[in-house]
Structure 1
């Protein structure tokens, strides 16, 4: 039998149904709800972008790059004959990137590859205000740089969120200046954590992975969460086609916070704790031999005699599985955990030794710069004029990424004379004319006393090379 309703009754019925549906589907006040439509996502990002975009800036940097130097420049005979051959003609190189203002007094973070070596840096805000900037602290290995705006006050800025709380699947926005077209916002999710050794360029370490499009010019820009807090600095993209259809990597905010602290403390070079070990990831084959139930952790393959990890009782063959409660599976991840803990304190490490798990406290200290590196530069009239050498110590090993047990004398600059002879930056001098050398002073004395015949023993890329020269 068909029933009919009057208009008032029908309206009351519909209102009650809508109210019941709203109560049933509404999230609790403290609950995080995933947007259910593209419209919700779009509307939800509008206030977020208005809040965060003013703190993301465009960076224009200029650096002077020297042209190639003539190999005959210092030669007494060929120098005049080939005076204009390969002459060093400086040229100006421009770079474009992004940055993020982190404080009201104009502290800005960007990538090293955007501002490294720059002689002139201009920072342009979203409202077109323009400021000169100077680099307070930079580090090529981490690909981070901290800048100070000149005359900046009451600047818009982003708050840092502890990147340790970031989870895979979170919605994120990438804000930057791709291709120089102007400030652009792209959306995505956090698609991975603990990515190490995957980014391109000089940056090495631990990254947040995202599928938010990142293009040239986005470098140094912000990766923010849905509350407008900075969780990472966009640094690169991994792509097969060269376009934005790849996966992006961002440097976590926890490391950025350490950079800001050291810059405010007056450091111009980032100081990170020294591990003093050679480690390798534990794979399935190694796990069985080490007695581990799962392939995890970093196996200690070698230790420097002054290693703070060694001083805590760790020996070759042990496996480091956690640092400060966080699991580590690669050497880069372990060093990242030590870096965000900072210098001066200790890190609690979980170590697997002979089938037993134990905890050790490791002092977070810099690599010892002793014995003194004693830099030397060979003067005019010597066989290798302009050659620059230092004595190898733990600090030099860490700075130049040398083998853990490296010793001898490191070539830090070949100069004109060393370059003609085939020496390269990064070579390790072991012996001169059959006499072993251990310090830069011994290397200088041996080369000064060399006659017209010279025999060098050099370590290059792990290979020992014998060089015989006649002058």
Structure 2
């Protein structure tokens, strides 16, 4: 018994000694954990102190609210068309042309509770039947309200007894590079798909065509075939773009996708709802982007802005104080450094609107108000024609006092070359300008047949019947 007590006492004493030693070591180690301030080294580069006032953590960004608001308002669009099929020997011997039904799919965004839906023109192009499926799997037949091939925007509508969830428009001018965004759509028929990314760039022009300069929002949110016509929204669930294109050698997403800015899309949709066609305005200049090379050639200090090389006659710019050689740096406070940005901003305006241009002239900054004038070339999807008011020279060529020039045919009518014709009458109404044609079409219902009278440069008059889309 004494042996056990003695052993227990020795164990307790050993524990006390060990505990005291461990505490001593810990105190000594703690005294060595001193954080010293490193010496300040002057950087050869300018450094701006940064004060972070917002949430900069990726983990701190919550996409769930925006996704929940949007996913029920993005629809699946099915476009059924009739296309010519390859001919077999039996078809050749029978002298018949075979046709087959083709089905295309895409996305759309509900923008009003009564069923107006915005999508891409290429999603609904040449449709014989449009079907829309909501996120709750209910399907509806859709009616085409209007389509604009140039902007690739279309408006369709479904009829329902219940109010539908919709996405409110945001201001795409206020969208910032680096801002988080969500792309919502139906890629590869995978309905209700949400992907996230940031705005990579603004004012992107993919085609670089003088007559059709586009201004896209570029994002790295994953967009694939089937996303076309879907929503690009910010973290508040506001619509800031309509997903339209991807830049890829494979046809699928590799990091670059593009959306029509919401301000441009909204203007087009409002025109469809109010007029039935798109009112297109123009500033009335021809110019070029400034850069480090041509700014020296022009004798300018600035390397950003639009150099005004020419002013279009009878345009709003011609009637303003704007001059050749001026440099436009902003419109209504929106910075303009590329012609695509200028073109994109003007496309949000109607003829008659006034924009305030900030201009550099002889290295002095001045403000010039410019009235947006009407772009005399108008695409009218109802009759599948691009039309323009006649010039004085064309009136002499066609030997007329009034009429409208056919500049291009689109859709099913594109198989016919009517560029040598002018329209002089629709039904019993003489046509003096585009306004006359648009006035006639306001009272026309789908599937109504029009009698269109045309005249060519040889003085020959032709008439044909056209069934309105």
Name the TM-score, length of structure 2 as normaliser: 0.67
Match of 1:289 among 294, 297, 311: 297
Note the C-alpha offset of 1:390: 7.8
Question: In 2 relative to 1, CA 308–48 (structure 1 residues): closer, same or farther, beyond 3 Å?
Answer: closer
3-state DSSP class of the match of 1:311?
A: coil
Note the C-alpha offset of 1:156: 0.6
Unaligned 5+ segments in structure 2 are 1-19, 24-51, 87-91, 379-384, 395-403, 423-453, 463-469
Match of 1:33 in 2: 55
Match of 1:260 in 2: 269
Match of 2:72 among 51, 54, 62: 54
1 CA distance for matches of 2:215 and 2:303?
A: 19
| 8 Å Cα contact 1:131-1:152 kept in structure 2 | no
Question: In 2 relative to 1, CA 131–447 (structure 1 residues): closer, same or farther, beyond 3 Å?
Answer: closer
Deviation per residue, 1:86-135 (Å, 9 max, x gap):
x7655433221001111111111111111133221111000001111112
Match of 2:163 among 151, 154, 178: 154
Question: In 2 relative to 1, CA 245–369 (structure 1 residues): closer, same or farther, beyond 3 Å?
Answer: closer
2 CA distance for matches of 1:334 and 1:279?
A: 11
The 5 A counterparts of 1:326-337 are 326-337=334-345
Match of 1:393 in 2: 390
Match of 2:205 among 196, 211, 228: 196
Question: In 2 relative to 1, CA 91–348 (structure 1 residues): closer, same or farther, beyond 3 Å?
Answer: farther
Q: Give the paired residue count.
A: 358
Query: If you compute each CA radius of gyration, which structure gives the higher value, 1 or 2?
Result: 2
Match of 1:102 in 2: 111
Deviation per residue, 1:148-200 (Å, 9 max, x gap):
11235310111121112211111111111001122211111111122223699
2 CA distance for matches of 1:256 and 1:369?
A: 19
Note the C-alpha offset of 1:204: 4.8
* Alignment pair present for 1:175 and 2:172: no
3-state DSSP class of the match of 1:255?
A: helix
The 5 A counterparts of 1:378-389 are none
2 CA distance for matches of 1:2 and 1:249?
A: 68
Question: In 2 relative to 1, CA 171–323 (structure 1 residues): closer, same or farther, beyond 3 Å?
Answer: same
Note the C-alpha offset of 1:203: 8.1
* Alignment pair present for 1:301 and 2:301: no
Question: In 2 relative to 1, CA 33–413 (structure 1 residues): closer, same or farther, beyond 3 Å?
Answer: closer
Note the C-alpha offset of 1:273: 0.9
3-state DSSP class of the match of 2:282?
A: coil
2 CA distance for matches of 1:196 and 1:174?
A: 20
3-state DSSP class of the match of 1:312?
A: coil
Question: In 2 relative to 1, CA 65–45 (structure 1 residues): closer, same or farther, beyond 3 Å?
Answer: same
| 8 Å Cα contact 2:376-2:389 kept in structure 1 | no
1 CA distance for matches of 2:276 and 2:406?
A: 24
3-state DSSP class of the match of 1:167?
A: coil
2 CA distance for matches of 1:166 and 1:153?
A: 32
Deviation per residue, 1:205-244 (Å, 9 max, x gap):
1111110110000001111111222111111111234331
| 8 Å Cα contact 1:290-1:355 kept in structure 2 | no
| 8 Å Cα contact 1:56-1:99 kept in structure 2 | yes
Note the C-alpha offset of 1:284: 1.9
Name the TM-score, length of structure 1 as normaliser: 0.66
